[in-house]
Every structure is written in structure tokens, then in C-alpha cells.
Chain A
Amino acid sequence: GNSVTQMEGPVTLSEEAFLTINCTYTATGYPSLFWYVQYPGEGLQLLLKATKADDKGSNKGFEATYRKETTSFHLEKGSVQVSDSAVYFCALSDRTGANNLFFGTGTRLTVIP
């Protein structure tokens, strides 16, 4: 079946530190992969996506590469800011099944000045 496993948090970093949040997946078909961000009291917003193997999604300094050989989609940012403090969700979409959206459990990131 389909599933997403995400690095547990919380993660606390100092401003300008390097960020990695690990995400691995299991899928029966050929999924697209996503990272969503959730700010306090709000819904989820799409941060970046990749639709096939070796694609790199990027947005706002965040990057993630679709690695089929390791079934991974790790989120990285070279220099985090206080405004990046949020909860980050890894997700996959696979249209081969009836329910085609699967989310990780979320990782809370706090960036301190």
C-alpha cells in the first residue's frame, strides 16, 4: 500500500542554520511527491512538488529531490529564518488507488534568533 514516513520532531534550529527533514515513502504506482507547510491556526499550503524520479522541487529557498532508488524526498534549506517556523508535511499522490492522498505525521520546526 501507500504510506509516508516522516522524521519526527520537534526540530529547533538557530537562524541561518541548515535544515534537513527526512521523508521516505512506499507506493504501489508512480506517485507525485509534495511538501506542505502549515503556519499556526491555518490550513496547509503547498511548498514544493516533484512529479517524477530525479525531479527537484524548489520554492522560497527550500529544495527536495525525488529519489526513486531510495524512495525518499528529503526537504532541505541552506539557511533558515525565524519566519520558517511552522509544521512541515510530506505527502504523496498516487492515482492507482481509490484514496490517492497520503500524508506524513508532520514535523514542527522552530527557528530561534
Chain B
Amino acid sequence: DGGITQSPKYLFRKEGQNVTLSCEQNLNHDAMYWYRQDPGQGLRLIYYSQIVNDFQKGDIAEGYSVSREKKESFPLTVTSAQKNPTAFYLCASSLRQGNTEAFFGQGTRLTVV
């Protein structure tokens, strides 16, 4: 079945550590996105990528990094520079051409301990 998969579902990080969240899609979508969602809040865009080997900062990119070496993969690294990383992280993908909908993963809940 085609879809978008995030892993792990839950992740715990010690202060000062970098962690990487995985996002994989087999929908053959060009565009991929990372969002952060805090409790009771909406979505805030961290990074997005319209094509392989290219990505752009979103509204809250500080303390995060991404790579897009393959079309199907868009991992997000939460670095130690991110001062308040505890949140729910959502990955999405969409076709680059045409005004089509985005498909979302199930999310990763990151907690700093």
C-alpha cells in the first residue's frame, strides 16, 4: 500500500543530544514537509523540499536540519541548539505539480528527558 511512514512513534532525548526522525514515502511525491505541533496548537512549518537535493527553511527552522538525498526520504534532525524540542512532529508529502492534497504520516512524539 502506498503511504508515508514516520518512525519512531515515540522518541526520548536527553538534553544536549541530537536525534533524527525518519520520514519515508512510496507515493512518488516530489514535495515533502516537516511540521511541528505543540499541545493545542496548529501546525508550524520547519522545512520543506520540492525536489531531491534541495530544501528550504520554513517558519521555525532554527535548531533543526534536514537532508533530501533520495526522493522517498526526508529525515529531520533535532539538534541540541533547539531549546524546546518537546513536541509532536508531522511529516507530509504531496505532488509538486497541481494543487493536490498532502498526505501525512502518523507523527513522532519527541520528549526531552
| A interface, CB within 8 angstroms of B | 30-32, 34, 36, 41-46, 49, 51, 89, 91, 93-95, 98-101, 103-106, 108
* Chain B minimum-CB-distance residue to A95: B99
| B interface, CB within 8 angstroms of A | 6, 31, 33, 40-43, 45, 48, 50, 56, 58, 90, 92, 94, 96-107, 109
27 A–B contacts, CB within 8 A, in A order:
A31-B99, A32-B99, A32-B101, A41-B107, A41-B109, A42-B106, A43-B6, A43-B90, A43-B107, A44-B92, A46-B102, A49-B101, A51-B99, A89-B43, A91-B102, A95-B96, A95-B97, A95-B99, A98-B56, A99-B45, A99-B56, A101-B33, A101-B92, A103-B42, A104-B42, A106-B42, A108-B40
* Chain A minimum-CB-distance residue to B109: A41
Tell me if B94 and A43 are in contact (CB < 8 A).
Answer: no
Chain B residue numbers with a CB within 8 Å of A45 are 104
Q: How far is the CB of A5 from chain B (nearest CB, A)?
A: 11
Tell me if B107 and A99 are in contact (CB < 8 A).
Answer: no
Chain B residue numbers with a CB within 8 Å of A44 are 90, 92, 102, 104
Cα separation A101 to B48 with both chains bound (whole Å): 10
Chain B residue numbers with a CB within 8 Å of A99 are 45, 48, 56, 58
Top 10 A-B residue pairs of the complex, sorted by shortest distance between their CB atoms: A32-B99, A43-B104, A105-B42, A93-B99, A44-B104, A106-B42, A43-B106, A103-B43, A43-B107, A46-B101
> Which of B31, B98, B99, B107: most chain A Cβ within 10 A?
B99
Q: How far is the CB of B109 from chain A (nearest CB, A)?
A: 8
Chain A residue numbers with a CB within 8 Å of B109 are 41
Cα separation A42 to B107 with both chains bound (whole Å): 6
* Chain B minimum-CB-distance residue to A49: B101
